[in-house]
Structure 1
Amino acid sequence: MSQIQQHEPNETLAETPARALGEFIRAHRERLTPQAVGLAPGPRRRTPGLRREEVAQLCGVSPTWYTWIEQGRPVSASADALARIAVALQLSRAERAYLFELAAQRDPAEPDPASQDAPAALLQTVGLIGAPAYVLDRQWNALRWNAPAAELFVGWLDGAHDRNLLNYTFTSPVARALIVDWETRARRLAAEFRADSIRHLNDAPTRALIDSLSAASDAFARFWASQDVFEREGGERAFDHPVRGRIVFNQITFKPAHREDLKLVILVGES
């Protein structure tokens, strides 16, 4: 079957994401009774819950493939096959989301987050924060920001400007003057966006943004070609503000539950 990939028979199965996925699936198989899926219990059942062969039949996959995925072996698991496993094991919404997270796959039953409006409560929260704060979408366009953020980010969040953080950083002379150690920060920003956008790197809006930035900024093209990948993290952020002079903040980034394509960024002033 095309789902099966060959592997070494004596391969050591260390604690890996594949192993964690297999353990999760096995635990839920063992909790599910035959009666719950319309099967007769049968005599001398040696295993708790359903047998692997029974789950494989319910999912429409080969017993060998199903056994291997439970064992944490290096087999490919498509989103469609995972969805059938989730249905067969009668997983709850939270359990199903956890299954797809373990497999690093997007659940085909979930709508594309980019097609949904940002939660109103998240946008309203920005106005309740006293420090500079803003919300970014998956292409790092600012969806909402507060007055302190507009006062800080001249040329981006004040007045009528393009609201994309990457465009601002790489194409605005104001950003180069504002951001202390611009070269280091810009390089890291490109690497963070590569890591952040991996699941939608070929989506049309993301691809268009990368292409336009590569054409407009030699620095972005160079940093993007380096293939650097950094996790987005907080830390000190310094700015040379045209009115207030040198200002230093600590940046904190939050991702809302169920909307990890959005980010709430807060810049807390040093005491």
Structure 2
Amino acid sequence: MIDNIESLSGPGALGAFLRTHRERVTPEMVGLPGSARRRTSGLRREELAQISGISATWYTWIEQGRDVSVSAATLDRLAKSLQMEPAAREYLFSLASVKDPLAVPLSGAPDDSLKNCVNQITGPGYLLDSCWNVLAWNPPAGALFSGWLGKVERPNLLDFMFLHPLSRQLVPDWAERAKRVVAEFRAETSHYAHSDAVRQKVISLRGQSSEFNQWWTQQEVLAREGGARRFNHPLSGETRYRQQTFFPAGYADCKLVMLVPES
């Protein structure tokens, strides 16, 4: 039996993460004088607090895992003082459950390698960005959504659900699915609170679709999940799939949706 298993979240995990990084940073790395008489090569708590512009007592409480509220500004100063790489900074903010004000979503435009991945999927597959624009899709997806994909210049999944007449024919449980789509999209907008493109998409749909506007004002939030999907295709009849969603590495605002045919 293993004792003292490290917690993966909460104040204790945040304190342990900061302590480890503090012990890796030498005084010389941050412009402080070193000394051969130091018992440790890393920074002292007081030194880190000083260069970060925060109270030494306050920082000690954070590192000790006390239940204190840590602001984004404090985390930003600590991350910079500890010279954290982007991945470590992102992890720091996630441990504190605080949004990083400097986090910038990567471009959603897929390169050829990512597009080729979509084409390797045997079932319908497509890529969505933060506004749910369809960035790429494979031939099975084009066949499933024939009459929409390949027919409009900039296909958008939200526009399809609420503005394209094909959606109500293709999706047999349209009202149930469409209502959930709104709640899922609202949940995802928390990651793009400062995105003008996302804001404009919401404004546009609220003005064009009474159903979208009604469900948006209900303030429901649901995590995007997979599960059974049914379609009434005009040529293939009823088809059933299991939906899976993945997030490709290196594309912060891009997700890959796969529809796996049910046997």
8 Å contact from structure 1 (residues 59, 84) kept in 2: yes
Distance in 1 of aligned mates of 2:8 and 2:153 = 49
Q: Select 2:122's aligned residue among 113, 125, 130.
A: 130
- Correspondence 1:23-62 to 2 at 5 A: 23-34=16-27, 36-37=29-30, 38-41=32-35, 45=39, 49-62=42-55
8 Å contact from structure 2 (residues 247, 256) kept in 1: yes
By how many angstroms is 1:176 displaced? 1.0
1:55-101 Cα shifts (integer Å, max 9, x gaps): 011212222332333334332422x4323312322334432232233
8 Å contact from structure 1 (residues 162, 168) kept in 2: no
2:87 is the alignment partner of 1:94: yes
**Partner of residue 100, structure 2:** 106
8 Å contact from structure 1 (residues 248, 270) kept in 2: yes
**Structure 2: runs of 5 or more not aligned:** 1-6
**Partner of residue 173, structure 1:** 165
By how many angstroms is 1:19 displaced? 4.1
- Correspondence 1:119-198 to 2 at 5 A: 119-160=111-152, 162-198=154-190
Amino acid at match of 1:143: L
8 Å contact from structure 2 (residues 129, 135) kept in 1: yes
3-state SS of 2:62 partner: helix
By how many angstroms is 1:256 displaced? 1.3
User: Cα RMSD between the aligned structures?
Assistant: 2.5
The one of the two structures with greater contact order (alpha-carbon pairs below 8 A, sep at least 6) is 2
Q: Select 2:67's aligned residue among 69, 73, 82.
A: 73
By how many angstroms is 1:39 displaced? 3.5
The TM-score, its normalising length taken from structure 2, stands at 0.85
By how many angstroms is 1:240 displaced? 0.4
Amino acid at match of 1:66: Y
8 Å contact from structure 2 (residues 105, 253) kept in 1: no
2:253 is the alignment partner of 1:255: no
8 Å contact from structure 1 (residues 156, 162) kept in 2: no
Aligned residue-pair number: 254
8 Å contact from structure 1 (residues 235, 251) kept in 2: yes
Cα distance change on mapping 1:241 and 1:216 into 2, 3 Å: same
Amino acid at match of 1:39: P
**Identical-residue share of aligned pairs (%):** 43
The TM-score, its normalising length taken from structure 1, stands at 0.83
Cα distance change on mapping 1:41 and 1:156 into 2, 3 Å: farther
Distance in 2 of aligned mates of 1:188 and 1:155 = 23
